A and B are shown apart, each in its own frame.
Chain A
Amino acid sequence: MLALIQATNDLKTIGDQVVQLIMPEVILTLFACAALVLDVMLPRGRKRPVAWLSLAGVGFALVSLGFLYFNITSEGKSRLGFFNMIVIDNYAVVFKLIFLIGAGLSILLSIRYLDEEGEQRGEYYSLILFSVVGMMFMASGVDLLTLFISLELMAISVYILVGYTKRDRRSNEASMKYFLLGAFSSGVLLYGISMIYGLTGSTNLANIAKALPIIISPAYEPLGQTVDLRYLVLMSMILMAAGMFFKVAAVPFHMWAPDAYEGAPTSTTAFMSVAVKAASFAMFGRLFLYGLPDLRDTLAGNADKNIPGLPGWAVLLGVIAAITIVWGNLAALTQNNTKRLLAYSSISHAGYTMLGLIAANETGYTGFILYLFIYTLMNLGVFGCIIALRRHGIQGDRMEDLNGLMKKAPWLTVMMTIFLLSLGGIPPTAGFIGKLYLFAGLIETGNPWLVRLAILAVLMSAVSLYYYIRFIRAMYIEPETEMQPVKLAPSLQTALAVAVLLVMLIGVYPQPLLRLTQKAAQAQGLKTHDYDQKKADEGEIERPPGAGTGR
């Protein structure tokens, strides 16, 4: 294993052999297979070593990722590999870091929980690892095929994980729903992909980005006569966007999320609410910022020939983000099942995250990545606390189960409070820094519509505090309804402690993480967009280098 990691580090061979570029994925795959084998060798009921083995795999992959970062991308360079199908840049590296942290914490959260459910088996961990492999390719894929296959690798693993507690009917139902809707959305996505392939003749995002400006000009004359292909391009863009909206659970494609989150075993819910969402966003960003940057703005029409201009995907995303934020927050207000409530909350967070893509400046992209990073920590933390409530005979996912928790487990309550306040964006927690960046991105554009969007988003984040405070009220103020003590497994304690420390640390001193995510946002190929294009062209505005520039 160390030899493998060494291979990542060995720069001399990187020039002609590109396997090093995917070394973290290779390591994870090996460990996932090893976990399967180990699972067979261990006697029933003693499967815990599989968890430790998978955790070790995540650790080795992290080390290997670290080598990639320091050898290649830390200076802002990037490297293509495998016939330009994958790229290693800071964007990919930071997202892979998010997935690995998410996976590592999820494994720690799961160990005791699976015992409690009586489902401690090795496949669970290898499925997590396989899905992480898929996610990592989603972050670095720059080819529609790579992206789609890795998406499916992730999705299929997660379908199984959702239905993992096979004796639980809710879990089965959730898995079925998730599978059917997920398969449908994959189909929609694939439809869009096939259309864009038909239009541009390539599955490579860079080639697509090159071809698009020609195709969408209203005077495109491929065979000697003018063809307006813009509607077709838009159609394919909308289909791809719809597929992605499904995956990130944006309204109106969010129906699966509450059911799947509620039915899935809590540890899986934790994992899929953060890692799957982050991965889908990673692919979303790649697809739209790398592949379709020219479709952002209005597709120019031609007034002379009476051809109207068409709105680009910034408008689509803006509308969807607004609906998602509003609906996610409002629907969460009335929920009584904590997992279902958090599902709606995570829907609204998907809306917030999209704000970064819409803002389309460096601040916005930084916020986009930063927020996913922070969201991973805080949401895993909240789910970890809910997992702690799963005790003998108590499901632990009703609001009443939290009643009087302060008396039973004060430290757990304090940690849960910090995670909840962070989700609500109250300083000095990490969530505040994340939201600050997203809103700053929108404000920086100076576009009146985006400012309105920011006002809406910020007001809805005040609304969201209402339901986060409900948790806090139950924990601190309501009297206890059942007396069974809460005991935290050491692994769970570790995971929660790590998460809470990071959340507070990022809240108080965000500089290192900001720098890292800013590097990711500066990755080649993420095209920023200047809403003040006209002014900038005339040279009126000279933008400071650090505060976001239109490149």
Chain B
Amino acid sequence: MKLLGIGLLSWITWLPVVGGLLLLFFNRDKNDAIRWFANVWITICFLISLPLVLGSSSYDRILGGLQLIEDYEWIPLIGARYQLAVDGLSVVLIILTTLLGVISVVCSWSYIRERGREKEYYIMLMLLQTGMIGAFVAADMFLFFIFWEVMLVPMYFLIGIWGGKNRLYSAIKFFLYTLVGSVVMLLAVLKLYFVFPEVVQQQKEAVQVTARWLATNVSTGQVNGPMLNLMEDAFKRAQGTDPVTNKTLQPGYVRSSFNIAAITAVGPHIKTVYNVGLVIWLFIGFGLSFAIKVPMFPFHTWLPDAHYDAPTAGSVILAGVLLKMGTYGFMRFSLPIFPDAATHPRVRQVMIALAIIGIIYGALVAMAQKDVKKLIAYSSVSHLGFVMLGLFSINPNGVNGAVMQMINHGISTGALFMLAGILYERRHTYEISEFGGLAHVMPVFSTIFLIVTLSSLGLPLMNNFIGEFLTLRGAFEESVVWGALATSGIILGAAYMLWLYQRVFFGQVTKPENENLVDLNAREAWQFAPLIFLIFWIGIYPKPLLSYINPQTEVVVGQVRPDYFKQAPAAERREVAEEKKEGEGQPTDTTR
């Protein structure tokens, strides 16, 4: 689908930063104009991302695989191409990003008026938005890396300029932690880049079989033609042929490729050409970067600081999207490209152990917090532990649950941070002991807070329940011990969330300052509407969301554990098999 000759994905990616550039030309004293422009523009950015899931040209979730491909030459000397594409995983994350983008801009309406420097603030939010979306849509690793690093700078400014007391420390800590991870990833990317042509040349048939697997929907057997072509182009180049003209490559064009799908197809065969040691080192190179971003247990210390000092919008985006970058990275790169490392018993044990430690430790530390925002921040560590557990269960339930949890955590924790932000705007403190009995003073606020709290602790019929259920089911499938340990995290989660709610909202109003707090105004109340809608929708009817995620999940699981689908009992095949009958007639192998 194209608008004005530019592909839909490019529009979604670049529109925010265009808005940021336009904002540069606003007079910095005209704050009202700037604020209105930013709100309207970010809404447009959200609306333009909706065709991904609505309308005729939208993403075909039954087919699965990379779609809406845009492929242009960019730097032929290093083989980097401007390639954008989305699969089901990216689609849901992009929608989440654009939605949270709108919400974060809307929820800063009054906070930023108070803090000042609105123009720069909105420019940074727009830039951040482009960076995040870009990382999700990039189908070229070089492009992905650029977007990945571009995200750091605006976030540094958001925390550093508009943050709380300790903002300078938190901002630089966030920046350096994530940077260390990503520079190591850069080296791993380069190594992959250099082994790519070698592996393709020596293992041509095997690589092509894997490529075909990647482009095939496991349940329906349909083949995604354009995606297969994308990979074939990269393989042709690796063998020295120009895919367009079918002649020998001109000098100056390299044989290697940064194409993520092609690299994913090559990944499992690295060990036959080189050795498993290299695969594990590469896994560590990527994994370190993602583990810091998630953050997994020993690397999590930047997160509470960054969350605590970030402005509300920053926290929402940080929790809602930036942390998902890490888990997205594991799902997109670490698992499918390095299956030998991911299934290597020791590696897997370490990852699972860290995930479970994260779940329990995060919950326990959250319980000990005296401060609303820090509590929510540590709860993120715990929730993301679930995501990691689900991913490294490496079965369809676990991975589906993990992806669901990524979305759910974005919704629920984003909402919690917004609620905490509203408390802060009223009282300029996050101390739990400063509040109490707010249910009497702010009934609407308390109701919304209750809904979000219950969602966050995983009450059935709400979103987190589905995600946690699937994740735990996946974990139990692999090992009862893992499942049992992780389940204790849910109990702890209920404990700290309900205890928080009790201390803040129930009982008598203890502080005189709290007696006259204003309840939510219309803007503040309505900004929660989409989130609450999603909480219930996903909780009650998760199938639409799952139908986007599942094809991708099955491909990843099948890639990492090729024998899984052969051994698993028939009941393990997911409901999507129903749709198999519809699509079976015509395999849509739309070769160019």
* Closest-CB distance, A473 to chain B (whole angstroms): 6
The reply to whether B187 and A466 contact each other, CB–CB distance below 8 Å, is no
Q: Does B184 contact A (CB under 8 A)?
A: yes
Q: Does A238 contact B (CB under 8 A)?
A: no
Q: Does A164 contact B (CB under 8 A)?
A: no
Q: Does B283 contact A (CB under 8 A)?
A: no
Among B28, B146, B183, B187, contact of A443 (Cβ-Cβ < 8 Å): B187
Contact flag A514-B251 (CB < 8 Å), given A436-B186, A439-B186: no
The reply to whether B254 and A455 contact each other, CB–CB distance below 8 Å, is no
Q: Does A198 contact B (CB under 8 A)?
A: no
The reply to whether A473 and B160 contact each other, CB–CB distance below 8 Å, is yes
Contact flag A476-B161 (CB < 8 Å), given A428-B150, A466-B172: yes
- A427: chain B residues at CB < 8 Å are 145-146, 149-150
- A40: chain B residues at CB < 8 Å are none
Among A446, A465, A547, contact of B179 (Cβ-Cβ < 8 Å): A465
Interface residues of A in 436-486 (CB under 8 A from B): 436, 439-440, 443-444, 446, 451, 454-455, 458-459, 461-462, 465-466, 469, 472-473, 476-477
Q: Does B190 contact A (CB under 8 A)?
A: yes
Please, what's the 1-or-0 string for B228-267, where 1 marks a CB less than 8 Å from any CB in chain A? 0000000000001000000001011111100000000000
Q: Does A545 contact B (CB under 8 A)?
A: yes
Closest to B255 in A: A544
Closest to A455 in B: B187
Q: Does B176 contact A (CB under 8 A)?
A: yes
Among A455, A542, A545, contact of B251 (Cβ-Cβ < 8 Å): A545
Contact flag A459-B78 (CB < 8 Å), given A515-B252, A547-B197: no
Q: Does B191 contact A (CB under 8 A)?
A: yes
* Closest-CB distance, B48 to chain A (whole angstroms): 23
The reply to whether B180 and A459 contact each other, CB–CB distance below 8 Å, is yes
Contact flag A544-B254 (CB < 8 Å), given A454-B187, A515-B77: yes
Q: Does B530 contact A (CB under 8 A)?
A: no
* Closest-CB distance, B25 to chain A (whole angstroms): 12
Interface residues of B in 149-168 (CB under 8 A from A): 149-150, 152-153, 156-157, 160-161, 167-168
* Closest-CB distance, A464 to chain B (whole angstroms): 10
A421 to B157 alpha-carbon distance, docked (Å): 13
- B145: chain A residues at CB < 8 Å are 427
Q: Does A539 contact B (CB under 8 A)?
A: no
* Closest-CB distance, A253 to chain B (whole angstroms): 28
Please, what's the 1-or-0 string for B117-152, where 1 marks a CB less than 8 Å from any CB in chain A? 000100000000000000000000000011001101
The reply to whether A440 and B190 contact each other, CB–CB distance below 8 Å, is yes
Contact flag A511-B180 (CB < 8 Å), given A544-B254, A546-B254: no
Give the secondary structure class of A's interface: helix
The reply to whether B78 and A514 contact each other, CB–CB distance below 8 Å, is yes
Contact flag A426-B149 (CB < 8 Å), given A546-B254, A546-B255: yes
Q: Does A550 contact B (CB under 8 A)?
A: no
Closest to A466 in B: B176
Contact flag A546-B252 (CB < 8 Å), given A466-B176, A469-B172: yes
A509 to B74 alpha-carbon distance, docked (Å): 7
The reply to whether A514 and B184 contact each other, CB–CB distance below 8 Å, is no
Q: Does B75 contact A (CB under 8 A)?
A: yes
* Closest-CB distance, B348 to chain A (whole angstroms): 25
- B254: chain A residues at CB < 8 Å are 544, 546-547
A466 to B183 alpha-carbon distance, docked (Å): 14
* Closest-CB distance, A362 to chain B (whole angstroms): 11
Closest to B201 in A: A542
The reply to whether B152 and A426 contact each other, CB–CB distance below 8 Å, is yes
Contact flag A462-B180 (CB < 8 Å), given A514-B78, A544-B255, A547-B256: yes
Contact flag A443-B190 (CB < 8 Å), given A459-B180, A462-B183: yes
The reply to whether A518 and B179 contact each other, CB–CB distance below 8 Å, is no
A436 to B78 alpha-carbon distance, docked (Å): 11
Give the secondary structure class of B's interface: helix
* Closest-CB distance, B551 to chain A (whole angstroms): 32
Among B75, B160, B167, B172, contact of A510 (Cβ-Cβ < 8 Å): B75
* Closest-CB distance, A325 to chain B (whole angstroms): 13
Among A426, A455, A466, A473, contact of B184 (Cβ-Cβ < 8 Å): A455
* Closest-CB distance, A504 to chain B (whole angstroms): 12
Among A465, A515, A546, contact of B176 (Cβ-Cβ < 8 Å): A465
- B168: chain A residues at CB < 8 Å are 473, 477
Closest to A507 in B: B146
* Closest-CB distance, A471 to chain B (whole angstroms): 12
The reply to whether B160 and A439 contact each other, CB–CB distance below 8 Å, is no
A547 to B120 alpha-carbon distance, docked (Å): 42
Contact flag A544-B77 (CB < 8 Å), given A426-B149, A473-B168: no
Please, what's the 1-or-0 string for A425-437, where 1 marks a CB less than 8 Å from any CB in chain B? 0111000100010
A509 to B143 alpha-carbon distance, docked (Å): 12
Closest to B256 in A: A547
Closest to B180 in A: A462
Q: Does B76 contact A (CB under 8 A)?
A: yes
- B190: chain A residues at CB < 8 Å are 436, 439-440, 443-444
* Closest-CB distance, A147 to chain B (whole angstroms): 31
The reply to whether B194 and A444 contact each other, CB–CB distance below 8 Å, is yes
* Closest-CB distance, B242 to chain A (whole angstroms): 12
Ordered nearest first, which 6 A-B pairs have the shortest CB separation?
A546-B254, A544-B255, A427-B146, A443-B190, A458-B183, A514-B77
A sample of 8 cross-chain residue pairs with beta-carbon separation below 8 angstroms, ordered by A number, consists of A426-B153, A455-B187, A462-B176, A466-B176, A477-B167, A511-B74, A514-B77, A546-B252
User: Which B residues contact A (CB, under 8 angstroms)?
Assistant: 28, 74-78, 120, 145-146, 149-150, 152-153, 156-157, 160-161, 167-168, 172, 175-176, 179-180, 183-184, 186-187, 190-191, 193-194, 197-198, 201, 240, 249, 251-256
User: Which A residues contact B (CB, under 8 angstroms)?
Assistant: 406, 410, 421, 426-428, 432, 436, 439-440, 443-444, 446, 451, 454-455, 458-459, 461-462, 465-466, 469, 472-473, 476-477, 509-511, 514-515, 518, 541-542, 544-547
Other A-B contacts than A462-B183, A476-B120, A541-B198, 6 sampled, CB-CB below 8 A, are A427-B150, A439-B190, A443-B194, A514-B77, A546-B252, A547-B256
